[in-house]
Amino acid sequence: MTRNKTLLLTFLMAFSTILPIQAQQKLFTLEDLNFGGNNFYNLLPKNLYLTWWGDKLMYLDAEEGGLHHADGTRSVSFQLSELGSDWHSAYEAEYPYADKPLVLLDNRRQRVLYNFEKHQTEWSQTSRGETHSDWNAQSKAVAYVKDNQLYVRTADNEAHKLTTDGSREIVYGQIVHRNEFGIEKGTFWSPDGRRLAFYRMDQSMVKDYPQVDIFHRMAELTPDKYPMAGETSHVVTVGIYDIETGKTLYLKTPTPNTQESTAVYFTNIAWSPDSKTVYMFELNRDQNDCRLVSYDAQTGDRVQELYQETDSKYVEPLHPIQFLPWDDNLFLLQSQKDGYNHLYIYNKEGKLQKQLTKGNFVVMEVVAFDTKQKCVIIRANKEHPLCHNLYSVNVKNSRMTLLDNGRGVHYAMASASGSRLIDSYSEPDVPRKIDLIETSGRTTNLLTASDPWKDNGYQIPIFENGTLKAADGVTDLYWRMVKPADFDPQKKYPTVVYVYGGPHANNVQASFRWYSRSWETYMAQKGYIVFVLDNRGSQYRGKDFEQVTFRQLGQVEMQDQMEGVRYLKSLPYVDADKLGVHGWSFGGFMTISLMLNYPDVFKVGVAGGPVIDWKWYEVMYGERYMDTPQTNPEGYEKTSLIHKAKKLKGRLQIISGYNDDTVVLQHCLSFLAACIEAGTQPDFFVYPGEAHNMRGHQSVHLHERITRYFEDYLPVK
């Protein structure tokens, strides 16, 4: 056994039972625990706000910035007050040039490059009224959206209007395909800053969902474009704007039919290092045929199909290709075609050179390239499924070198050369540490934060972690349990199962307090046990683990959750007659599914923003996991909760944002109608003006409501 694995085994044995936390006298309120609460941020572990200027470590505070030295001392480089009375705060601050003493600052009125050695502004640009801004350091041009039109403002501060037909139906320069496929923005600058690739989304053919704004004397219709599974979707094209010529062309992509096409979804846009070629993945509507295609950015011509991946269930491209900084002929491609997300190196003609990473673990992120050692810095769960660790992968020999301590959950920000990392991490008993890692081997601690709950004398519950077998009897599943600080094994406690269970999320990690949500602490303080289990279908466990739910969402997940219930019932201190369940979004769907399929098990449930029938969910997500209602009628029928409304026995509260544009209100209202017809009695609460999640202080109100429902109908003795 290697030293790292020995350390990990010791770590897991030490913390797989109980984190011994001394109960204190001070009690929490939701103002302390909830992110919308007025004392929440005061009770977070201390943090440092650091960034890089080339390979130099810099700090950022509200009113100043400067060098952060390894010994913890600081040297002030600039203060916002130097820029004048308009600069009370900066919404952006970064150091875009490794070799120049310039900091980019933006106060949403003006964008400036400030020379912090000469203490003078060297360049400025208007930024007022911009949305979806995307600034390029090479050309100093910014792409932005204003009044639905796409603009580029050049370095000379001249605004160029690229479009004239932008509207709620024709969308430019913004996220398309409803945030799926790893899409986080709608504009993409070439490396030299001369050309801008951008999305154009025509959704005029998509049906409106009738959202209503009640905050007027007469309520007003404010509809959303919402493509539901199996129905007409939008059409996306990709434009290229050339700053020097002032002209726009569109890539000659396959013309999609809105119902069926070999290339409907265009995603993960990337540029060649010479700024002449655009690469993107093209995915058919059935999402089982994915192709990497290159286009000539000067003509828009389709050049070459470099890669194809098919799957009997679905292919999900989430990451653009990345060229190796030291070799313009080679690029990294991420795929889980061998069962786990791994890195592959291809040349620009599309020929596979090697699989760079391999094994029963997931590469979660490419952090950076270490150009000095010709390595790729990644984040992966190679040490343990619950840990996220940092590694250097040698491109030549594929050797993986662990860079951190092999425990906990780590996130890194790399310097310009990739040879230095800011490593911010936590462990189940470590609130936060920040280390400076040199990839050559040296690590310096910059911050070790204490537990502010303990420092402020709060009563802290007990956090536990363990494993159990999935319903298949083979697969390990990981759970978290939160118990009252004064837990007595001789007593019996009402227990709430908190669940999400869906794709692209997990609830149990080896971070502080096992990644526990603060509401669980509030419930434990009230005398409840809270239990959380990551079932099959959740993330970071490989393709088979995720895809087992294909065409039958909720079914395998419920089987696994019931294995968790079986475990709970085996514990003498769990009151099996007082089991509740709570979840939001996919977790709301799971909550109601469990209440209706196991009506004699769960006495109380609170479901937030729940999917009720997948035929009312959006095209991209819904069809990936369920196919269409036309091709999978049995799956849609089996997973629908409408026809199970008659099975409701326990107390169920459903909560929704009135203007939810993710899980539209039709889900909740249709279920209520079914319950009325069936004679069952759920409770319903709505937040006017709110979308899928409650914002700001309304979240405090929400979690108080959730808590009270359990106190009313699943009381502690």
Please give the full DSSP string across 190-237, using - where no structure is assigned.
Answer: -TTSSEEEEEEEE-TTSPEE--EE-SSSS-EE--EE--BTTS---EEE
Q: Do the beta carbons of residue 448 and residue 433 sit within 8 Å?
A: yes
Q: Do the beta carbons of residue 107 and residue 90 sit within 8 Å?
A: yes
Q: How confident is the model at residue 17 (pLDDT cuts 50, 70, 90)?
A: very low
pLDDT on residue 6:
41
- Point out the catalytic residue in the list 127, 424, 585, 656: 585
pLDDT on residue 8:
45
pLDDT on residue 62:
86
How far from 548 is each of 186, 393, 565, 629, CA to CA, in Å?
Answer: 32, 31, 21, 19
Q: How far apart are CA 121 and CA 157, in angstroms?
A: 15
Task: Write the pLDDT tens digit of every residue in 594-623.
Answer: 999 999 999 999 999 999 999 999 999 999
The stretch 23-43 carries a mean pLDDT of 90
pLDDT on residue 144:
98
pLDDT on residue 255:
76
In this structure, what DSSP letter does residue 179 have?
A: G
Residue burial 592-602, b: 16+ Cβ < 10 Å; e: rest? bbbbbbbeebb
Please indicate whether residue 5 or residue 666 has the higher confidence score (pLDDT).
666
- Residue 629 φ then ψ, to 5°: -60, -25
Q: How far apart are CA 560 and CA 123, in angstroms?
A: 59
Q: How far apart are CA 65 and CA 97, in angstroms?
A: 16
Q: Is the pLDDT of residue 468 over 60?
A: yes
Q: How confident is the model at residue 570 (pLDDT cuts 50, 70, 90)?
A: very high
Note the helical H segments in 377-419. Answer: none
Residue percentage of the chain with pLDDT more than 70: 96
Residue percentage of the chain with pLDDT more than 90: 93
Note the helical H segments in 380-456. Answer: 452-455
pLDDT on residue 684:
98
Q: Is the pLDDT of residue 24 over 90?
A: no
How far from 62 is each of 41, 49, 70, 78, 314, CA to CA, in Å?
Answer: 15, 10, 21, 12, 45
The stretch 209-224 carries a mean pLDDT of 97
Q: How far apart are CA 602 and CA 594, in angstroms?
A: 7
Which 3 state secondary structure label does DSSP give 355?
strand
Q: Do the beta carbons of residue 152 and residue 141 sit within 8 Å?
A: yes
Please give the span between the terminal C-alpha atoms of the chain, in angstroms, as a whole number: 49
Q: How far apart are CA 368 and CA 355, in angstroms?
A: 18
pLDDT on residue 263:
57
Q: Average pLDDT, whole number, for the chain?
A: 95
Own/partner contacts of 323-330, CB < 8 Å, gap of 24 or more, are 323/272, 323/273, 324/369, 324/374, 324/395, 325/369, 325/371, 326/369, 326/371, 326/374, 328/272, 328/273, 328/274
pLDDT on residue 2:
44
Which 3 state secondary structure label does DSSP give 247?
strand
Q: How many CA atoms lie within 13 A of 129 on its CB side?
A: 9
Q: How confident is the model at residue 18 (pLDDT cuts 50, 70, 90)?
A: very low
Residue burial 421-433, b: 16+ Cβ < 10 Å; e: rest? bbbbbbbbbbbbb
Q: Do the beta carbons of residue 618 and residue 234 sit within 8 Å?
A: no
Task: Write the pLDDT tens digit of every residue in 294-340.
Answer: 999 999 999 999 999 999 999 999 999 999 999 999 999 999 999 99
Is 585 labeled as catalytic in the residue annotation?
yes
pLDDT on residue 634:
98
Q: Is the pLDDT of residue 3 over 80?
A: no
Task: Write the pLDDT tens digit of every residue in 397-407.
Answer: 999 999 999 99
Q: How far apart are CA 13 and CA 8, in angstroms?
A: 9
* Beta-carbon contacts of residue 447 (< 8 Å; ≥ 6 apart): 46, 47, 48, 432, 433, 434
Paired strand residues for 376: 369, 393
- Point out the catalytic residue in the list 660, 667, 699, 703: 660
Q: How far apart are CA 125 and CA 79, in angstroms?
A: 20
Q: Is the pLDDT of residue 262 over 70?
A: no
Q: Is the pLDDT of residue 19 over 50?
A: no
- Point out the catalytic residue in the list 69, 132, 504, 692: 692
pLDDT on residue 86:
85
Q: Name the residue with tokens 């970064």.
A: 94
Q: How confident is the model at residue 118 (pLDDT cuts 50, 70, 90)?
A: very high
When computed from its CA atoms, the radius of gyration of the chain, rounded to whole angstroms, is 26
- Token code pair at residue 137: 């350091």
Question: Which range (17-21, 270-274, 325-329, 399-403) has the least confidence?
Answer: 17-21
Q: How far apart are CA 89 and CA 61, in angstroms?
A: 10
Q: Is the pLDDT of residue 514 over 60?
A: yes
Output the pTM of the full model. 0.94
The stretch 654-660 carries a mean pLDDT of 98
Q: Name the residue with tokens 């007595």.
A: 488
The stretch 266-282 carries a mean pLDDT of 98
Pairing of strands 574-584, 493-498: parallel
Q: Is the pLDDT of residue 14 over 50?
A: no
Q: How confident is the model at residue 92 (pLDDT cuts 50, 70, 90)?
A: confident
Task: Write the pLDDT tens digit of every residue in 516-544.
Answer: 999 999 999 999 999 999 999 999 999 99
- Token code pair at residue 574: 């769990």
The stretch 68-74 carries a mean pLDDT of 93
Q: Do the beta carbons of residue 529 and residue 574 sit within 8 Å?
A: yes
Q: How far does Cα 530 stand from its chain's mean position?
A: 24
Closest by Cα among 185, 188, 176 to 239: 188
Q: How far does Cα 402 stand from its chain's mean position?
A: 25
How far from 390 is each of 367, 430, 627, CA to CA, in Å?
Answer: 9, 17, 36
The stretch 37-52 carries a mean pLDDT of 97
Q: How confident is the model at residue 257 (pLDDT cuts 50, 70, 90)?
A: low
Q: Is the pLDDT of residue 183 over 70?
A: yes
pLDDT on residue 22:
45
Question: What sign does the CA torsion over 155, 161, 162, 167 have?
Answer: positive
Which 3 state secondary structure label does DSSP give 677?
helix
- Token code pair at residue 40: 């929440």
Is 417 labeled as catalytic in the residue annotation?
no
Q: How far apart are CA 656 and CA 94, in angstroms?
A: 39
- Token code pair at residue 472: 């298949």
Is 69 labeled as catalytic in the residue annotation?
no
Number of H helices, E strands in the chain: 11, 45
Q: How confident is the model at residue 667 (pLDDT cuts 50, 70, 90)?
A: very high
